[in-house]
Structure formats: C-alpha cells, structure tokens
Copies of this chain bind each other. A is one copy, B any other.
Amino acid sequence: MTRREFGQHCGLARALELVGERWAMLIIRELLVRPCRYTDLIEGLPGIPTNMLSTRLKELEQAGIVERRIASAPQRGVVYAVTEHGRSLEPALIALAVWGNTRLNEQQPTDLVPPSSLVISMRARFNREAAGGMSAVWEIRVPETVLHAVVTDGQLTAGIGPAPSKPDLVVTVPGEVVPTFRNVLEAIAAGKVELTGRRSLAGAFTRVFTPQQQALSVSARTV
C-alpha cells in the first residue's frame, strides 16, 4: 500500500484516496461552480500554494475528475473543468458543506466568503417542491460579488456573475451584511435589501431557497 492508499476495499476509503487530500475538495468546489483558469482558482482559494494547486490538478485529471481544456477563440489559454464523473461528486460535496455549515456560526467570519461557497449554498438549499413549475431569474448583488439564480420549470441553475438573461428581480445586499447566504435571506426577510424589478419575487426567493425539513436518511441505532 503506497502511502496515500488505505488498503481497504471500501467506497469511502476509495473516495478519500481520490479526493481526500488537502485542498482537493475545495478545488472541485470551484470547478463545480464554473470552469476556471489557473488564476481563477488561485483567486478562489486564497492561501493555496501554487505548486500544490498544480499537483492536485494533475492528480484530479489523472483520476478522471477534472479535465484540462485549451480554450479557443475568445479567451485563449488553459481552462479546467469537472468531467461528468467529477460532477457526480456534487451531492457528496454538498452534503459535507451542509454539515459544515452547522458548525460555521461558531467562528466569527473574519475569513472571507468565497463566491463559489455562496453558489454551493444556493444549490444545497434549493427546494425542488417549493420551486414547483416556477420560472424566474434573480440577480443577487453583494459587495464585491454578483450571483444569479435561474429557475426554469422548477430546475435550478445557479452561478457566479450577472444573470444570463434580463433578471426579473435584482436583490442588492448592503455592505454591512456579512455575505453568508443565510444572512442574505435574513436581510431579505428584514427588508434590509434593495429590490429592483418584480418585488413579489423576493418572497418566492426565500421559499425556493429554504429546504424542507428532511428526515435522517437512515436509522442507525446500534443494538
């Protein structure tokens, strides 16, 4: 067993061998939100050593999780993206993020809030039932960052940047709010945001991004 293998025929151990190294999941988080150039990744992962990023990208490419593309016409250069197999990690990554969020309030957020983290939060909290057959385009502006959420026939597309089409509602969050996604929802509820467009879609936003109470997946009582 080479150093990084666990020597167990177990799905969890295998997953950890593939994406359990330091920074790997955070790199995948960035790429699940959007394809990135090398410098985008460095910006989204402050503090990551460049040699580490380079090493991880190679390993993840080797593992078939990440793909290295040579971008064509408009922006030439290298672009990294998740493969289909990498995208299938999203549920697990979201499950981890949801769990970690319950432990996040313990610390005061002197740390920065990465935009990709907000997008993951939106995807994590998306309530399929509440979205029903709805269609709407939101644009969320927090200081330094613009996000969008598009619901089309109950399907969510959430990402970084301005809305791809004219937004039905633009929500501008004031600078004094620490830009957690929960704080954004609170600010909306408290009327502390600026709304431009169909203001009635503010309530819908809150409903669509408030998950229903979910039962624990498995009774795991030990006898």
Contact = CB atoms under 8 A, between A and B. Distances in A.
Interface of A: 1, 6-16, 18, 20, 22, 25-26, 29, 32-35, 46-47, 85, 87-104, 107, 109, 111-114, 117, 120-121, 123-124, 126, 148, 150, 155-159, 164, 178, 180, 216-223
Given A96-B92, A221-B157, A111 B9 contact: yes
Contact of A222 (B33, B85, B88): B33
A9 to B, nearest CB: 4
A118 to B, nearest CB: 9
Contact of A12 (B22, B25, B112, B157): B25
Given A1-B47, A112-B8, A95 B100 contact: no
A188 to B, nearest CB: 19
Main SS class of interface, A: mixed
A53 B18 CA distance: 21
Contacts of A93: 12
Contacts of A220: 32, 87, 90, 123, 157-158
A25 to B, nearest CB: 6
Contact of A94 (B104, B113, B121, B217): B217
B117 A8 contact: yes
B9 A90 contact: no
Given A34-B222, A90-B217, A100 B26 contact: no
A217 B112 CA distance: 27
A20 B29 CA distance: 15
Nearest to A31: B222
Nearest to A29: B12
A26 B13 CA distance: 7
Given A26-B16, A91-B216, A220-B123, A8 B113 contact: yes
Residue among A85, A97, A100, A156 facing the most chain B CB atoms (10 A cut-off): A100
Contacts of A47: 1, 6-7
